[in-house]
Amino acid sequence: MVDYNDVWGRCPARATVRAVMALFAANDLELHVFDMKTAYRNAPMDVNVYVQQPEGYEEDPTGMVARLLYALYGRKQAGRLCGNHCRGTLTAIGAVCSMADPTMYVWQHPVHGPNFILVHVDDMAVTAKTLAGVSVAKEVVLSAYEGRDLGASNTFLGMRVDRDRAAGTLKLSCRGVTAALLEQFGMGGARPKKLPMAFKTNLMRTGEHLLEDSTRYSEFMGSLLYLSTPPDRIFPMQPVYWHAP
């Protein structure tokens, strides 16, 4: 039995997202994005949870509570149950869950070939060789969940997707997330630099000017490491992180 405190939800690793995007660009595939509005309302609860009746929907006797049948938004285990339900929907049509990342599925369609499906809680990206292949996958999912078709969107999971189809290249960027992060840590007026770290920079621990609480600094460094996926940015971030004051 899974304890109700197991509240995680399936989210794709950034390496998985980049791999799918690279595959999409290199093989000249089609990519569409959509979100599932009713995903949480379809996932049944795995434990008994009772809630007060919403105002305006009370039934006699007064004070009676109701048992929650589905994992609505706000429930502790809703994200995980939603992922489990979506997994069942996709595997029922023959899609195979990746052993490397449980949020990625490969569906070998008998007519349209392989479809790669990436799931982030209630957001989904589908890539296939043709638009017909993408449409088939979307029809299956949207027949199970009410959703919003975003089409060939240029954004996914907070990342902007800039594609040069003729050149077979694709660029991912997180300008919005980066700007929000800088504002959050009081660095909205910071200016960008061409080089993330000067050549032959050597950081050393001096034991001086130590922070009383380094939690905020660690949060900022962790957020930067999350954004700094290219090797030229990861490299300078590591010594700055490990030499936290």
Secondary structure of 123-162 as H, E, C letters: EEEEEECCHHHHHHHHHHHHHHCCEEECCCCCEECCEEEE
Q: Strand 159-164 vs strand 96-97: parallel, antiparallel, or unpaired?
A: unpaired
Select from 172, 205, 222 the last residue of a domain.
172
Range 140-175 burial, b when 16+ CB lie within 10 A, else e:
bbbebbebeebeeeeebbebebebeeeeeebebebe
Four-point Cα dihedral 132, 136, 137, 140, nearest 10: 160
Residue 129 in domain: yes
Q: Are residues 195 and 141 located together in one domain of the fold?
A: no
Residue 123 in domain: yes
pLDDT at 163: 84
Q: Structural domain of residue 238, as residue ranges?
A: 175-242
Q: Are residues 153 and 164 located together in one domain of the fold?
A: yes
The mean pLDDT of 29-49, rounded to a whole number, is 80
Residue 155 in domain: yes
Between residues 176 and 129, the one the model is more confident about: 129
Q: Are residues 126 and 194 located together in one domain of the fold?
A: no
Instruction: Give yes or no for a cis peptide into 61 (omega within 30° of 0).
Output: yes
Residue 4 in domain: no
| pLDDT tens-digit map of 172-205 | 777 777 888 888 888 888 887 776 666 676 766 7
Question: What is the domain-level CATH number for residue 104?
Answer: 3.30.70
Q: Are residues 120 and 200 located together in one domain of the fold?
A: no
Q: Is the pLDDT of residue 106 over 90?
A: yes
pLDDT at 238: 62
Q: Are residues 160 and 206 located together in one domain of the fold?
A: no
What's the whole-model pTM score? 0.70
Q: Are residues 24 and 115 located together in one domain of the fold?
A: yes
Select from 125, 144, 172 the last residue of a domain.
172
What distance in Å separates the CA atoms of residue 91 and residue 107, rounded to the nearest whole number?
9
Residue 126 in domain: yes
| pLDDT tens-digit map of 73-86 | 767 777 788 888 88
